[in-house]
Structure 1
């Protein structure tokens, strides 16, 4: 369901959800079922688009990501939620208006007004500059073992070392296969690292990786090329991307991104929000999903969207009650409106 009209002259939506992934759609569904007027702005660039199937989502294991999103959009629409996609659904910036609402400007030149905003814009996975990685991302080039480990279990796997977390990655993926090789690439291992890897039976191959060629589509194998002409064949290459928050709308509202660290190592950026409610530092704006927690899997992102929606609705209920009480008192305690 797509809606490309300019809604600035209409009554504001109760909530505009920026982002049409699992977090955004789960939030929109909860709000629509709470009888709130909801608009989802969906740019159509989900993080998991390269993957052929999603895993670990109870009741939907093995579904295609596009199928899940199409089902979610239909469910939101069934409860009266509206969805804009493409340029009309690509939010560029937002402003606070004089009446306390928000004006969201989109790539097609249109704008929409909202009483509340839910930012579920996600992150961008930034891969190392190695030819072939982007082309095979989500299929032969993997990151999350909980998403893809079962599908490559007991097969030869290679880990591309780009930082101090590489040794941990090798340990982690060793849980799914005892045929793990660590490629040192541009990272220098310590003697302690080498001793641990040897104890785990993880092979170490020296040399910078210069490219990746994958054969057989989703089923591999792939060939990792090394400087000097060497090569390593594996079913999948494990890579740790940098997670960069899609924070254009947040930045336009003055909400900064913060660094994300794992074991003291910076791995990306995110928006800060209350972990229980999704509330940001700016009243009226909530955030949920990977934009606030880049390593969350799909179920956790969807849950965060639903939690934020409950908090948003609670705030709208309180605001409505406060206004009703003010009107009641202004009308002399006789009900109605002044």
Structure 2
């Protein structure tokens, strides 16, 4: 780092953080980006649904993004932020090595951590390859293959099974530990030719480093080439920094998340958030767009601060 004071600290260098840093750099703000090197989509080998970047490896996108941010003066620090505290009118960012950086505004773009339930952790070995969470991210890549869906509730099961059916005529819903499925829901699944498999799932069946089936507790193996487990996940936002500030939160279908306004501002003045840390359903392109909005929102707040200082100097 060439300095210890910046206009903005961006914590997290995924699509949201990098796009915010790009907007701020082009607005001629001094920006430092912190990154611990653990993006949510690290296991995926490509992205879908990103205009002009469809099929690109996510790591390549981040490498290109870093280069673009550096072109406009952005700096990077690869390491973990220990804490962010208010320091008068500014913020103090403490790093793992004990050093501190002073900034005017903060953007938290630290993403989330996907957690499978204990009994399904064994599927994590195939994560991002043929054990998947988002049909829009991965559906086209496994189109026309025998697909499975595992969820933790009837609501999630119906949502994802009916969605996955768009990409394959051969979809199986594994009830796993869902004890009740209404006759109405069963009729909907039957109408879309989605098969229901009773019984608890115990793990994947893998041959030649590819998924070939799902094993049930009674030993039955149901042949599948890919399984969607988005409805079985617990999505834990990496929001310790926001929690420490007491940022306002709300319960959502995906869990408890910090709320932000349309420009990414939290309830804590000067603290913004963007990407999966506040929006678990955001694909890469959505996270990037949220980062762009947050960058613009932060720049507007800094512009107002600059005006106040200028007016005070004239009085």
Fold-level similarity (TM above 0.5): yes
Match of 2:117 among 112, 115, 128: 128
Q: CA deviation at 1:131?
A: 4.1
Matched, 1:268 2:249: no
Q: Once superposed, what is the RMSD of the aligned Cα atoms?
A: 1.5
Matched, 1:107 2:99: no
Distance in structure 1 (CA, Å) of the matches to 2:32 and 2:303 = 19
Q: What TM-score does the superposition give when structure 2 sets the normalisation length?
A: 0.94
Specify every segment of 5 or more residues in structure 1 that has no aligned partner in the other structure, as ranges.
262-266, 330-338
Distance of 1:44 and 1:221 partners within structure 2: 28
Structure 2 residue ranges without an equivalent (≥5): none
The structural deviation recorded for 1:214 is 3.0
For 1:94 and 1:43, the matched residues in 2 are separated by 15
8 Å CA contact retained: 1:126, 1:244: yes
Which of 263, 272, 278 is equivalent to 2:264? 278
Q: In the TM superposition, what whole-angstrom CA distance separates every residue of 1:155-195 from its partner, at most 9, and x where no partner exists?
A: 10011131121022111111111100111100022222222
Q: Which residue of 1 aligns with 2:309?
A: 323
Q: Name the residue aligned to 1:335.
A: none
What are the equivalent positions in structure 2 for 1:39-188 lying under 5 Å apart? Answer: 39-85=32-78, 89-98=79-88, 100-129=89-118, 130-164=120-154, 165-188=156-179
Cα pair 1:245 1:257 within 8 Å, conserved: no
The more displaced of 249-258 and 55-64 is 249-258
| CA shift digits 1:54-78 (9 cap, x unpaired) | 1111111111111111111111111
Q: Which residue of 2 aligns with 1:332?
A: none
Any conservation in 2 of the 1:136–1:214 contact (CA below 8 Å)? no
Report matched runs for 1:201-240 at 5 Å.
201-217=193-209, 220-240=210-230
* SS state at 2:122 partner: coil
CA distance in 2 between counterparts of 1:235 and 1:290 reads: 28
4+ residue segments displaced more than 6 Å: none
> Number of residues paired by the alignment?
310
Shift of 1:116: 0.2
Q: Secondary structure at the match of 1:174?
A: helix
More helix by share: 2
SS of 1:175's equivalent in the other structure is: helix
